[in-house]
Structure 1
Amino acid sequence: MRSKRTFDFVHTSRRFLTVSAVILLIGLIMLGIKGLNYGIDFSAGTSVDISTSKSLNQDQVRTFLDDQKFGEYSHTSGVNRETVRFKHALSSDEEKAFKADFLAKIDPAASFEVNIVDVDIAKEQQTNAMLGMAIACIGIVLYLSIRFEWRFALAAVASIVYDALFVVCMFSIFRLEVNLPFILAVLTIIGYSINDTVVIFDRIRENLRFAKIKTHADLDRLVNDSIWQTLARSINTVITVLLAAVCLFVFGGESIKLFSLAMIFGLASGAYSSIFIASQLWLYFKKKQPIKKTAVKPQTP
């Protein structure tokens, strides 16, 4: 059914693609200059979670951490809980000294949970994270190639690669910490993005069956109408999940704030890329295919 909407997604897509390219360019420049702010999951370091028996004076805790002289660290505080992440992998003697000093100077009833990641483990986790994302992309290509066609598959992969790069660039620009929950967030984003994309692609394929495509303008109208016909469903889905992610970011603990923030970035990007990247790339590939001319039967006298 022909959409009565006036906004043309196809003819305005170049403007949005230009903005996307500029944002990615800035992010990739930052990524090349400063890299990512890796947490201890991907770089050697020590994470110390301290459960305390009382509320602590934060100035006193920071002074204590500075006096330990273990190098660069990050510190977050919760209700009767302190989390310290050292860039330096503590030795067993340093760990024992840290615990003894904290018990003597800060809270005698505190308990500790210490996790140490060395360089080899950090590199292995980086490799496994990249391998997991690569396998996910390959699986998506195979699935879409079987269910649809190769043009749909290539367009969808380009879309989810954009989503992943967008989130990575945002974390690079704002120097947010990248850890294992970040990788989980990116994989989740890929799942939501491909779901939105498949909905639009399915409508495009359905409309193709009944459309009489004679010119490239007909293809433009078909894609534009298909997007409008699925737009309400896509917006409702994204808003529902975004509300949950925002609530996690606002009310959740420190350990999931970066996960939820990555989800917020990725969900917005996924909804955008399904419309302005995936469908437009499929249209570009489709236009490279010659339009089949319908043979006209000669009229009988």
Structure 2
Amino acid sequence: MRYKFNFDFIKHRKKFYVFSTALTLLGIITLVALGLNYGVDFRAGSSLDIDVGKPTTAAEAKEVFAKAGFADVTPTVGGEGERVTVRFKDPLTQQQVIAVEEAFKAQYGDQVSKEENTVDPELAREQLTNAGIAVLVASIFIIIYISIRFEWRFAIAGIAALLHDAFIVISVFSIFRLEVNLPFIVAILTIIGYSINDTIVIFDRIRENLRFAKLKSAGDLSAMINNSIWQTFTRSVNTVMTVLIAAVALFIFGSESIRLFSLAMIIGLVSGAYSSICIASPIWFELKKRSLGRSK
């Protein structure tokens, strides 16, 4: 079935390329200049999440930390003002943790509870390496699967969109100095899965339409791709919106510990829907149009 579409994605592909390239360059500049703001999972140190049981402020929490011997910390307050979070560059000893807990109990009462996370330098390096390997292995197997299931042109276009989505999320976290931790890596891997899923849905429709299409020019190829995109457009949007609603709900109502995970998911889901339509399909068009007119 041929759909009447009002927007020609292939015709405007260069605008998409410019937009994505600008974001990528901005991200590269930020990463080179500032790097990533690694959390305690990837950087030696300790983190304390303290539930004080009543509303407080960052200034009041800072005074309590000063009483425990940590005058130079910068606490953040979340969870309706009842949860205090602090990151320490150096691992805390058990005595220091107890001193902080006792200081908060003296100020706010015995209902105070804490959650401690300490990582030594060797473990931090190991976790960072393993996270990079996990993303790399997932990407390699996706390339192999698409190459077998479709063809090499689809694999190149799919991995380009996949890397685009992952790098957009990384760039945003670098630009705004958001913390990168293990939940962030989980979000990246989840985004890769959703991104390639949306891309494969469009590629599958392109392959079906390609079997019956009579392509004599780049214009015929462009029309076939646009037709395929619009045939799957409603499904792609509905799938992304369903997960996006859940991610936004987690970001708004979830705890501080999963807020950055939810934010990474929101950015990645939007980027994934965009790249599947506006990056992957045009890249496949660029590769496929070169083969038009060649002998089989």
State TM-score, norm by structure 1.
0.91
RMSD of Structure 2 on Structure 1 (CA): 1.9
- 1:180-237 per-residue CA deviation (whole Å, 9 max, x = no partner) reads 1111111111111111100100000000100111122211111111111111111111
Report the CA distance between 1:38 and its aligned residue: 1.0
Shift of 1:73: 4.3
Report the count of equivalent residues.
293
2:196 alignment partner AA: I
SS in 2 for 1:116: strand
What is the CA deviation profile of residues 132-185 of structure 1, one whole-angstrom value per residue up to 9, with x for unaligned ones?
A: 000110110111111101111111011010000000001111111111111111
Contact 1:76 1:84 in 2 (8 A): no
Deviations 1:49-92 (A, max 9, x none): 3344x415323222112453264444333365433322221123
**1:63-82 matched pairs, under 5 angstroms:** 63-67=63-67, 68-69=69-70, 71-78=72-79, 81-82=83-84
Partner of 1:199: 201
Q: Rg larger in 1 or in 2?
A: 1
Task: State how 1:122-141 maps to structure 2 within 5 Å.
Answer: 122-141=124-143
Alpha-carbon distance change, 242 to 111 in structure 1, aligned in 2, over 3 angstroms: closer
Partner of 2:286: 284
Consecutive unaligned residues of structure 2, counting only runs of 5 or more, are none
Q: Write the deviation string for residues 93-140 of structure 1: whole angstroms up to 9, x where unpaired.
A: 323332333333443443333221111111111111110000110110
Could you tell me which of 247, 251, 256 is aligned with 2:253?
Answer: 251
List gaps (5 residues or longer) in structure 1: 295-301
Counterpart of 2:40 in structure 1: which amino acid? I
Separation (CA, whole Å) in 2 of partners of 1:169 and 1:264: 14
Aligned residue in 2 for 1:148: 150
Distance 1:66 1:19 in 2: 47
Correspondence for 2:177 among 169, 175, 178? 175
The answer to whether structure 1 residue 57 and structure 2 residue 29 are counterparts is no
* Partner SS state of residue 89, structure 1: coil
Partner of 1:208: 210
Query: 2:103 aligned to 80, 101, 104, which one?
Result: 101
What is the correspondence of 1:83-98 to structure 2 with a 5 Å cutoff?
Answer: 83-98=85-100
Alignment-mate amino acid for residue 76 of structure 1: V
8 Å Cα contact 2:75/2:84 also seen in 1: no
Indicate conservation of the 8 Å contact 2:62/2:73, yes or no.
Answer: no
Asked if 1:6 is matched to 2:13, the reply is: no
**8 A contact 2:216–2:292 mirrored in 1:** no
CA distance in 2, matches of 1:274, 1:187: 16
1:298 maps to which residue? none
Q: Percent identity?
A: 52
Is 1:269–2:271 an aligned residue pair?
A: yes
Structure 1 range deviating more: 72-81 or 91-100: 72-81
